[in-house]
Amino acid sequence: TSTVKRWLSRWKTDKYLDDHIREGRPWVTSEAQDNSIVNAVLAIDEPTSQKVQHQLQNHSLNVSERTVRRRLHEAGLQYSLPLSKPFLTSKHRQDRLQWATQVQNLDWNKIIATDETTFRLNTVRRMCWQLRDHRTVRRTVTHPMKINLWGCMTSKGFNKIICFKENLKSHFLCTQIYQNGLLPTARHYFGRRKD
């Protein structure tokens, strides 16, 4: 009923029921200060709203974190995870296409595909402000804690996965990986050679 009373009162006062134009909160920063907020993002490594606010306070510009976020959104920046490494270069793409062309006619029923990868256990990717068309590439520690994985598969399915901490050197590859992973897979799927 209070809503009805409010509308009746408005009609009696000005015979007008459309929403009044709301002016909103006044702008708290100037154009120069808005530029300073955006420039602060570009000067900070892995910038967050809090880091930007502290940087601005060091230069005698006091604004809230909320204002920082608003101005950065308005300037076309987004708060997202940085890339952990750059995209493939054109050379990478060219090399992969060349390899795929070379192996496309092989009999994949007679092939064991192997691969290895490394998981770094202490890398934390933090969100930061960055331009929409320009993804930040995060700097990483030279020798972080890591675990290596080796695995193989055939056209018939997946097989062994081996976890190891050592660097993948030829001796380790032959005595550990091939002996315990590749050869048992070959015997399982293709049988023993009869020489």
- CB count within 10 Å of CB 68 equals 25
Q: Any residues with CB less than 8 A from the CB of 83 and at least 6 apart, and which?
A: 135, 136, 137, 138
Q: Structure pTM? A: 0.44
Q: Tell me which residues of the chain have a pLDDT lower than 70.
A: 1, 15-26, 82-87, 122-126, 129, 131, 135-144, 193-195
Is the distance from CB of 162 to CB of 178 less than 8 angstroms? no
Mean pLDDT rounded to a whole number for the chain: 81
What proportions of the chain, in percent to the nearest 5, are helix, strand and coil? 45, 20, 40
The correct CATH number of 103-190 out of 3.30.70.100, 3.30.420.10, 3.40.50.620, 3.90.870.10 is 3.30.420.10
